[in-house]
A and B are shown apart, each in its own frame.
Chain A
Amino acid sequence: MRTRAAKRTRATAAAALGTVLLLSGCSGTDPADEPMRYLSLAWQTQSVEANKRLVEEWNEANPDRPVQYVQGSWDNVNDQLVTAFEGGDPPDIIHNESPALTSFQYRNYLADLSGDLPESLRSDIKDEAWQTVTIDGEVVGVPLLQEPQVLIANADILKEAGVRIPTSEKPWTWDEFAEISKELTVPGERHAVAWPLDNAVNRMLNLSLNYGGTFFDIGADHKVTVKVGDEEREVVRRIHDQLYKDGTAARAAVGMTASDPLPGFYAGKYAMVQGGVYTRQQVTEQAPDGFEWVMLPPLVGDSAAQGATSQTLSVAAESPHREDAADFISFLAEPENQVDLALGDWLLPTSQEALKAPELTTAKNQWDVATAASDNLEPAPYLQVAGFDEWKTRVAQPALQEYFGNRISIDELARRLEEDGNVVMARYETK
């Protein structure tokens, strides 16, 4: 009996030891000896493939400074990064979007790449795009991909209604859009447009540039003040009118995220949906056979200007591989590589050379319309605002939801954005 029990004990101990050794075998090593870690947020199949292929290509050409592809997720990347930065172990190369960079730079997490990028790259990307990653004179990333806001329409419904189809040369104005929306609406059956407004702060701010709305005044002393004047009110008021005055926009879409209205769009309940240019990918994949769609160029107010944010590549200030990481980013940002990445994500490259590529100027999948829209992109004013993230989540998001839910007036919206917003801004005044 005792022998059997002893054997069993030994076997259990061996199994436990084996498990510990197996698990321990997975432990990390000294960061300086590790390859550069590239935290990528690519999530669409083509985009993931393009990223992994480019990493392989780099590793073949640079075996002495390899890059390791690490898959991240848009949903929680900033929590992940803050912990990694504070813990002193961030990824070397960071894929993110420009609005997030301001708060990271506020804490000195990112390297200034001003002196590390080749002139060919600097001149290939427009100044407007560089401005989205330039904070307090420091270049804290390379802008890679951009996303204009557009409308995607059911082509058959537009044809039946006999309305003018807008072109990049002659887009719809907001007034024209409001009038045409009335023609496209069939009470009880179809709304002209679905505005998915669940998480709409960035989009509203970007579109508000159509009327010169910037929402933030940045003084010479870098003091930031929130302001909501006539220019800032114009776009949100027009959307609110469509929802509650004209009845041309679907109220059901107010609480929807970007892709939620698409089933209704395919079923003909909405003649148009608003979204980014990447929405085309979902439409081509999901739309029923025979469904004809068309992407409409951005709407025009006082101008067609839209605030632009960029998907970016940055280097962690603490990275022991800073120069190599900057070289890798320059490699990814080469025009032909940007074309691959843009095609994978259905977004627009920042490289002017890449924008001329035949794949991005073809009429297939409306790439020509998307590419033409890049001319209207201007750096979003909020990119320079250190407290923007907090203002967005604690003040603007709930206030806009209440406004679009018709629970507060536009004056109350403006009051909250300004008064509550300025309390937030005051906390970020000294760096």
Chain B
Amino acid sequence: MASMSVRRTAARTGQYLALLCYLVFLAAPLLWLVSTALKTPQEMARLDPTWIPLAPTLGNFAEAFGEQDLIGAAERSLLVALASAVLTVAIALPASYVLARYKSVLNRIALGWVLVSQVFPFILVIIALFMILRQFGLVNSLVGLVIVHATFCLPFVLWMLQGYVRGIPRGLEEAAAVDGAGRWRTLASVVAPLLAPGTAAALMFAFISSWNEFLFALILIKDPEIQTLPLVLVSFTGPEGVARLGPLAAASLLATVPSLLFFAFIQRQFKGGLVDGAVKG
């Protein structure tokens, strides 16, 4: 009995240790970013780098925030990322339901096209895209950027969500219909709550994709007054891989905060097993 308890304790300790190692592995880049942001240029150039800055300084933050409009750029990035995420999911949700629930040749072609569209590198379409957007007056416009981000995020989100829809047993919808619920009522009261984790994951994916996106923003945005955060971050880098690491780390730290907050805000939606045991058999 005692030996079983010891074994259980050892196993539990091992599990926690493994978890701790995994956490350290995940957190290390962020901690390194914090550490770098607080170091002087001299300390950053040491051959034996330290995790804890020997002479912590806020100089990098002062330099980064003094030189570039980081807050304004972050606000614009936030606006674009939120709008892109909402637009993407708003289009993908009904489309994914139709793709998952209605079997037709057209749907199969649509799904095939969604997959094929992921094969093309973005750089191939960039000039054509630029010219089309220019015709509609959407170059140098955050609206244009939102549309582009949503467009390029849509295939993956669509694919992801139709997988979630397929995971909801049809029997639940049929049961709701038997109970007298109409189509809209079934969608709103049965399907939508069960799709919440998938929707949250899709929102998260679309938000982060847009928040980090650089190439389209670089090509489409001309006016410094409407530059998004990735465009501002790159101004701390020079030719031949040389960068001003301190200000870059300080500014990059700011760039990680909204993603973390957004994740913290919607993480409650991430739960599994909602449909376990919902239907017999």
Q: Which of B42, B68, B215, B241 has the most CB of A within 10 A?
A: B241
The reply to whether B46 and A263 contact each other, CB–CB distance below 8 Å, is yes
The answer to the question of B141 belonging to the interface, with a C-beta cut-off of 8 Å to chain A, is yes
The reply to whether B127 and A28 contact each other, CB–CB distance below 8 Å, is no
Which chain B positions have C-beta within 8 A of A48? 67, 235
The answer to the question of A120 belonging to the interface, with a C-beta cut-off of 8 Å to chain B, is no
8 tightest CB-CB pairs across the interface, nearest first? Answer: A257-B241, A28-B140, A286-B45, A87-B130, A267-B47, A27-B141, A74-B239, A73-B234
In A149-184, which residues have CB < 8 Å from any B CB?
A: none
Closest to A279 in B: B242
The reply to whether B45 and A262 contact each other, CB–CB distance below 8 Å, is yes
12 contacts between A and B (CB under 8 A): A26-B141, A26-B223, A28-B140, A43-B236, A75-B237, A76-B234, A79-B215, A88-B131, A89-B222, A257-B240, A287-B42, A288-B42
Query: How far, in whole Å, are A199 and B242 apart by their CA atoms in the complex?
Result: 12
The answer to the question of A19 belonging to the interface, with a C-beta cut-off of 8 Å to chain B, is yes
The answer to the question of A3 belonging to the interface, with a C-beta cut-off of 8 Å to chain B, is no
Query: How far, in whole Å, are A252 and B227 apart by their CA atoms in the complex?
Result: 39
Which chain B positions have C-beta within 8 A of A258? 240-242
Query: How far, in whole Å, are A178 and B157 apart by their CA atoms in the complex?
Result: 60
Which chain A positions have C-beta within 8 A of B234? 73, 75-76
Query: How far, in whole Å, are A222 and B238 apart by their CA atoms in the complex?
Result: 34
In B186-245, which residues have CB < 8 Å from any A CB?
A: 215, 218-219, 222-227, 231-232, 234-242, 244
| Per-position 1/0 for B114-154, Cβ under 8 A of A | 00000000010011001100100111111110100000000
Which of the 9-residue segments A64-72, A136-144, A323-331, A358-366 touches chain B? A64-72
Known: A27-B143, A28-B141, A84-B219. A19 touches B83 (CB 8 A): yes
| Per-position 1/0 for A77-93, Cβ under 8 A of B | 00110111011110100
The reply to whether B123 and A79 contact each other, CB–CB distance below 8 Å, is yes
Q: A28, A262, A266: which contacts B137 (Cβ < 8 A)?
A: A28
The answer to the question of B30 belonging to the interface, with a C-beta cut-off of 8 Å to chain A, is no
The reply to whether A28 and B139 contact each other, CB–CB distance below 8 Å, is yes
Q: B42, B68, B143: which contacts A286 (Cβ < 8 A)?
A: B42
How many A-B contacts at CB < 8 Å in the complex? 134
Q: How many residues of chain B have a CB within 8 Å of chain A?
A: 48
The reply to whether A43 and B237 contact each other, CB–CB distance below 8 Å, is yes
Closest to B223 in A: A28
Classify the secondary structure of B's interface with A: helix
The reply to whether A83 and B127 contact each other, CB–CB distance below 8 Å, is yes
| Per-position 1/0 for A287-305, Cβ under 8 A of B | 1110000000000000000
Q: A28, A45, A70, A83: which contacts B126 (Cβ < 8 A)?
A: A83
The answer to the question of B95 belonging to the interface, with a C-beta cut-off of 8 Å to chain A, is no
The answer to the question of A33 belonging to the interface, with a C-beta cut-off of 8 Å to chain B, is no
The answer to the question of B163 belonging to the interface, with a C-beta cut-off of 8 Å to chain A, is no
Which chain A positions have C-beta within 8 A of B79? 19, 22-23
Least CB distance from B139 to A in Å reads 6
In A249-295, which residues have CB < 8 Å from any B CB?
A: 257-260, 262-264, 266-267, 269, 282, 285-289
The reply to whether A24 and B139 contact each other, CB–CB distance below 8 Å, is no
Other A-B contacts than A69-B224, A83-B126, 13 sampled, CB-CB below 8 A, are: A26-B142, A27-B140, A28-B140, A28-B223, A43-B244, A44-B244, A45-B244, A75-B239, A79-B219, A83-B130, A86-B130, A262-B45, A282-B242
The answer to the question of A37 belonging to the interface, with a C-beta cut-off of 8 Å to chain B, is yes
Least CB distance from A23 to B in Å reads 4
Query: How far, in whole Å, are A286 and B143 apart by their CA atoms in the complex?
Result: 43
Least CB distance from B241 to A in Å reads 3
The answer to the question of B44 belonging to the interface, with a C-beta cut-off of 8 Å to chain A, is yes
Query: How far, in whole Å, are A287 and B241 apart by their CA atoms in the complex?
Result: 19
Known: A23-B79, A287-B42. A259 touches B241 (CB 8 A): yes
